[in-house]
Amino acid sequence: EIKGLSHITGGGFIENIPRMIPEGLRARIFRGSWDIHPIFEDLKKLSGQDDRHMYNTFNMGIGMIMAVDVSIANEVLSYLRLVGESAFIIGEIVKGEAGIEL
């Protein structure tokens, strides 16, 4: 039931997530839905970079994105945590122009 899967490498947050989403849809990310390591805030302050640049360069600690139907999202989340993964529901897929909302 996996609808999409994206390995989030450098630049992957902004560039790779939209590649797994059909045309006419976009990803809406819920900032604050996962723990962001404090080093990212330090880097942001020291570099003066905006949020979009920080997500695109450092991915803010996210390594993989999985898109599943909302009806099974909590079940998938529970399973991933059971097998030792740090997993979070970090957003949703919505109608709109291709891309990502932070």
Instruction: Read off the pLDDT of residues 48-57 as tens digits, 9 standing for 90 and up.
Output: 999 989 998 8
In this predicted structure, the answer to whether residue 47 has a pLDDT above a threshold of 80 is yes
Band (pLDDT 50/70/90 cuts) for residue 13 is confident
pTM: 0.85
- DSSP, residue by residue, the chain: -EEEEEE--TTHHHHTGGGGS-TTEEEEE-TTSSPPPHHHHHHHHHHT--HHHHHHHHGGG--EEEEE-GGGHHHHHHHHHHTT------EEEEESSSSEE-
Residue 94: per-residue pLDDT? 96
